[in-house]
Amino acid sequence: MEFVSISPLTGKLLRRYEPHDPREVTQRLQRAEAAFPAWVALGFSGRAALMRRMAAALRERAQVYAELFAEEMGKLLPQGVAEVEKCAWVCDYYADNAERFLAAEPVATEFSRSYVAFQPLGCILAIMPWNFPFWQVFRFAAAALMAGNVVVLKHAPNVTATALALEGLFREVGFPEGVFQVLLVPVERIPELIQHPTIAAVTLTGSTRAGRAVAAQAGAALKKTVLELGGSDPYLILEDADLEPTVETCVAARLINSGQSCIAAKRFIVLEPLRTAFEEAFVEAMRRQVMGAPSDRNATLGPLARQDLRDTLHGQVRESLRRGARLLLGGEVPALRGWFYPPTVLTDVRPGMPVFDEETFGPVAAIVPARTEQEAIELANTSAYGLGAAVFTRDRERGERIAREQLQAGSCFVNAYVRSDPRLPFGGIKQSGWGRELSVFGIREFVNIKTVCVA
């Protein structure tokens, strides 16, 4: 089965790719296995030098790669440039900090020496999605590579050109052969990859359904996993929130990457005293958004990445309306070339509706009314997901208390939208997955945490 890349803007075929046959996959895994000892022996300083060269190359070519993202998955050019620059940041971050994060930690015991050491595991299989085609990879790979692991990447088929460009960049920058490679394989062959003796561990960013499958397969093979899965992030708008900046932040949080983000705001839980004013201001701000080509400087929304994704999103909207939600804006497939979906706002949303219960991957906002702070918190936590959450209030202590003690999510923000940052751990709970990426916690996911005692 060949891979195809189709333009989200025109619906036309861009390229076809033949997947790697079993012999090619075996050869690439053998190269990874052979590269591992020398990569470890290179040491932190040698690996850091290459990682800094990677950061410089990314910054130099940011526009080129942004154009590739735009072509393959419809990302607006400024957002694509920002994504590449963020990848450079995480490369520099781990080049600067990896050795300190993984330094041996002495522990006082009855032994003459006792300490905890951190050693790489080997070859890590990364299964990555299309929506942030470079960042999702570097978010994991910068840490894993600096720890001394090697990587094989199974990327989403619709961003195959991006995956191959990334592999080429690692080669051009000077990373040794076998340290970072792409595997062009269909999803049906993932189980055999996970079971392969060369693969030491698996990381997946993707849907909860994919996470369940990978967790089961890796569990059967007794291999470590990190899973960053779906989200239905709640944003609590309390009665004392500062309306104008809150609306501005909430709209930005819903529409980043045209709404195609696991940590995009999805459910806006608004206390009744502010509900009418919030709805009016939010709808007006959403109405001002401009759908357009990724290269259009005036566009704030690009096309969705695939037609099936738009069809799924529209189905979620229609079914929610059938179950009693009320449409305030959008909700109809536009008569435009390309896989666009308009800024859409639903209100009177409740549990049992798809836009409340499910992850919505696109520019659809669900407004959920709440009468009290406690009801708002309960509605926020009434979800299978637990990736991110935010609280908006003029009382920062109140917001921090809710964020820290009462919201069930891996990342909670007060008066700001949820985002990932190399300095902070990133990941979820419940059906949003397990494990962490980024910061010291991320680099310690794929190492052997080894106890050493000397009598």
H-type helices in 77-223, by residue range?
A: 77-101, 135-146, 160-173, 190-195, 208-220
- Residue tagged active-site, from 71, 72, 83, 228: 228
| Active-site annotation holds for 412 | no
Is residue 310 a contact partner of residue 361, using CB atoms and an 8 Å limit? Answer: no
Q: Output the six-digit token pair for 406.
A: 């009462």
- Residue tagged active-site, from 91, 123, 250, 262: 262
Q: What is the DSSP-derived secondary structure letter of residue 434? A: E
- Strand locations in 416-455, DSSP E? 429-430, 433-434, 447-454
Cα–Cα distance measured from residue 169 to residue 163, given in angstroms and rounded to the nearest whole number: 10
CA proximity to 437, closest of 422, 419, 417: 422
Provide the 3-class DSSP secondary structure of residue 155.
coil
Bridge partner list, 201: 124, 224
Q: Which run of H or of E encompasses 370?
A: strand 364-370
Provide the 3-class DSSP secondary structure of residue 117.
strand
| Active-site annotation holds for 228 | yes
Cα–Cα distance measured from residue 276 to residue 253, given in angstroms and rounded to the nearest whole number: 20
Q: Which run of H or of E encompasses 123?
A: strand 123-127
Cα dihedral 256, 262, 266, 270 sign: negative
Active site residues: 228, 262
